[in-house]
Amino acid sequence: MSTAGVRPDRTTPDVLRARGSLPAGRGPAGTPPAADVVLAEPAVGDAAGLWRLARDVGLDENSAYSYLMFCRDFAATSVVARGPAGVLLGFVTGYRRPDAADTLFVWQVGVAPPARRTGLGARMLDHLRRRPALAGVRFVEATVTPGNVASDRLFRRFGADAGAAVACRLGFAASMFPDGSPSHADEILYRIGPLQRTVAAPAAGAGCCSRPPRRSDP
Ligand SMILES: CC(C)(COP(=O)(O)OP(=O)(O)OC[C@H]1O[C@@H](n2cnc3c(N)ncnc32)[C@H](O)[C@@H]1OP(=O)(O)O)[C@@H](O)C(=O)NCCC(=O)NCCS
């Protein structure tokens, strides 16, 4: 996954407010109640917000165009989390691997700081695996840079909730990134699965970010 973890922190509530990712008056103490957070497929109109949030939380700075592509072509395998007044609180972009239809590759996950550690990241991943469009997916893959503790914990939490093993190996070596690009660490590939069977998908567009059950449905 394009993760940074080494970028300067530009994720304080004030910075997010200034960039339009967070409304005035919100901060860590103003974390929206879980029930107020709605999960949904992204629309093309969300692309600019995803790009801004990715930049603000220190993810790799991909082109704005790439988010337009994800929001148009991979909406069914991606998710956005919106708080009160539709404020973007988080997102996951992913796609089904063309050469392995049973595998969802998670490209990026980002959660705005005020909404972190509320279970939102785990909830978005859990929401995705229950999507009708992802029926038949038994594995989730993502790459994580060493030292990104939050990301490591997120995927291990997801694996535990899905009753699945988590296997790690080198995904993309640092040397594979081009000279002249921002310095890049190795990307460790997390392969999570096989996922336990899920129950019926939630109603379209529904889903709050209360912490999911510790174990997957049988
Ligand atoms: C990684 C990220 C998406 C996690 O989102 P989140 O909504 O805070 O995660 P959750 O609240 O669902 O927590 C999931 C698990 O990770 C743990 N966790 C989250 N952040 C943590 C941190 N900073 N340190 C240690 N554990 C952390 C939680 O405790 C939870 O584990 P548990 O249920 O076993 O206690 C978020 O920190 C983020 O946006 N980081 C910046 C961008 C990034 O690095 N993205 C990932 C790229 S691979």
Question: What CATH number has the domain bearing residue 47?
Answer: 3.40.630.30
Residue 171 lies in a domain: yes
pLDDT at 12 over 70: no
Q: Using CA positions, which residue lies closest to atom 3 of ligand 1?
A: 110
The count of domains in the chain is 1
Find the domain containing 112 and state its range.
Answer: 13-25+34-193
Residue 92 vs residues 27, 32, 106: alpha-carbon distances, Å:
22, 19, 7
Distance 153 CA to ligand 1 centre (A): 6
Kindly state whether residue 18 falls inside one of the protein's structural domains: yes
What does pLDDT average to over the chain?
82
* Domain-embedded: residue 1: no
Please work out whether the CB of residue 148 comes within 6 Å of at least one atom of ligand 1. Answer: yes
- Average pLDDT estimate for 17-41: 59
Q: For atom 5 of ligand 1, which residue has the closest CA?
A: 121
- Statement: residue 16 has pLDDT above 90: no
What pLDDT does 29 receive?
A: 46
Cβ neighbours of residue 143 closer than 8 Å, sequence gap 6 or more: 1, 3, 171, 172, 187, 188, 189, 190
Structure-token pair, residue 108: 């990026």
Residue 41 domain-assigned (yes or no) = yes
pLDDT above 50: residue 4? no
Tell whether 51 is covered by a domain.
Answer: yes
What pLDDT shows up at residue 100?
A: 97
Within-domain flag for 103? yes
Per-residue pLDDT, 30: 54
Q: Note whether residue 198 is domain-resident.
A: no
Percentage of the chain with pLDDT > 90? 69
> Is the shortest distance between the CB of 116 and ligand 1 below 6 Å?
yes
The whole model's pTM is what? 0.83
Please work out whether the CB of residue 189 comes within 6 Å of at least one atom of ligand 1.
Answer: no
- Does residue 151 have its Cβ closer than 6 Å to ligand 1? yes
**Residue 153 vs residues 79, 89, 102, 175, 182: alpha-carbon distances, Å:** 20, 19, 23, 26, 25
Q: What local confidence, expressed as pLDDT, does residue 197 receive? A: 78
